[in-house]
Structure 1
Amino acid sequence: MSIAQTYLDSVKKRFLTHRLMGEKTLERLNEAQLNWQPDEGSNSIYLIIKHISGNMLSRWTDFLTTDGEKPWRNRDTEFDNSHATREEVLELWKKGWDCMMQALDSLQEADLEKTVYIRSEPHAVVDAINRQLAHIPYHVGQIVYIGKMIMKEQWESLSIPKGKSADFNKKMTGNK
């Protein structure tokens, strides 16, 4: 396998890991919790999802052929305080992720050598992908953290629970 294909496979795997982490958090929360804000200056999970969905749709729609900041996107309104139903939140989540993953799935090795534009600034395709690989997990981390704040002691770890690293390592190496 070529380094380009290895890179694309790795990127998709990393994105899917974060998608799953976000989805596991969303599954645990009700509509009120998805719209909860720690204070007026902070974003709810819904607002974060509205933002990353808008970002993914803008960046990944016609990824190789149009500027990643689409004229139809209004980033500022993604942070307007508003309320959404649980179904609306989940649909925004799905729509953004599906758009991005379909675009990534369509990329060929030769596409990695191309240039795309974001707000008229040229980016190597690899850099544009890496930019998203930094941006999206940053916000997924916020979603998880807010979920933990809401659920407090009812929260179940999405990765290795505190104090369980040795158990996890033993399991991974087959030493039970």
Structure 2
Amino acid sequence: MDINQIIINNLVTKFVQIKSRMLSVINQLSNDDINWRPNEESNSISNLVIHIAGNIHQRIEVGICGLQDNRDRDEEFNINKIVSKEEVIDMIESHFEILDKTIKDLDFNEYLRPQKVRNNEVTVLDVLLQCASHFSEHLGQILYIGKMRLNNEYISTSIPRKK
């Protein structure tokens, strides 16, 4: 296996892990938990998932694949928006499928293609690495909210629970 394939496989694996851990915690929660926020200045899990989906749309579908941008970033953080657990799960499944397919369909030379992000020229690979970092940060917030809501009933998404 060459270094290019190793990089692609690592990207795919990282996003699979992020998706899996998000779904693991969300499946433990109720609709109320998904939409709960610690305070007015903090986001709910549903806001965070909507934001990640918006980021996948803008960075992957628009930036890498060339589709039309229809993102409303401010709406992603609407404190009055209530989303069902099923909608959140569907959003994760569908957007991470787009991400996975895009990564696998790119020729390695396309990973070096330049694009503009916030007036900075970066490569497609830079965009994907930044997405992995960004989504990991939000995964941490989602996990923390899950732990806050479930207390002792929380089942870890990374370490097997002792019986």
- Alpha-carbon offset, residue 14 of structure 1: 1.1
1:16 CA displacement: 0.6
The question of whether the paired residues in 2 share the 8 Å contact of 1:66 and 1:117 is answered with no
Match of 1:125 in 2: 124
Structure 1: unaligned runs, 5 residues or longer? 165-176
Match of 1:41 in 2: 41
After superposition, the Cα gap between the structure-2 partners of 1:14 and 1:104, relative to the gap in structure 1 and judged at 3 Å, is same
Match of 1:169 in 2: none
Is the CA contact 1:50–1:78 (under 8 Å) kept in the aligned structure 2? yes
Normalization by structure 1: what TM-score?
0.83
Compute the TM-score of the two structures, normalised by the length of structure 2: 0.90
**1:38–1:61 CA distance, 2 compared to 1 (3 A):** same
Say whether residues 1:134 and 2:138 are aligned partners: no
- For CA contacts below 8 A with separation 6 or more, give which structure has more relative contact order: 2
CA distances 1:45-77 after superposition (whole Å, capped 9, x unpaired):
00000100111112111543538xx64111111
Alignment of 1:8-157 (within 5 A): 8-64=8-64, 66=66, 71-81=69-79, 82-157=81-156
* More divergent stretch after superposition (37-46 vs 108-117): 108-117
What residue number does 1:172 align with? none
Classify the secondary structure of the residue corresponding to 2:64: coil
Listed one character per residue, the Cα deviations across residues 101-127 of structure 1 (whole Å, up to 9, x for unaligned) are 111111122212211222443211221
**Kept after mapping to 2: 8 A contact 1:65/1:116:** no
Counterparts of 1:65 and 1:97, CA distance in 2 = 15
Q: Could you tell which deviates more after superposition, 140-149 or 108-117?
A: 108-117
Tell me the secondary structure at the aligned position of residue 41 of structure 1.
coil
Can you give the 5+ residue segments of structure 2 that lack an aligned partner in the other structure? none
The alignment's C-alpha RMSD in Å is 1.9
Larger radius of gyration: 1
Separation in 2, partners of 1:100, 1:61: 8
